[in-house]
Amino acid sequence: MDRSYKVYQAKYLIPKSDKGPAFTLNADPACFHAELINDGKICAFITRKTYAEAKHEGEESMKLGS
Farthest-apart Cα atoms in the chain, separation: 52
Stretches where the chain sits below pLDDT 50 are none
- pLDDT for 11 equals 93
8 Å CB contact between 2 and 64: no
Task: State the Cα–Cα distance between residues 46 and 6, nearest whole angstrom.
Answer: 11
Main-chain phi, psi angles of 7, to 5 degrees = -115, 135
pLDDT digits (tens, 9 = 90+) for 37-46: 999 999 999 9
- What pTM was estimated for this model as a whole? 0.77
Sheet containing 41-48: which strands, arranged edge to edge? 3-9, 32-38, 41-48
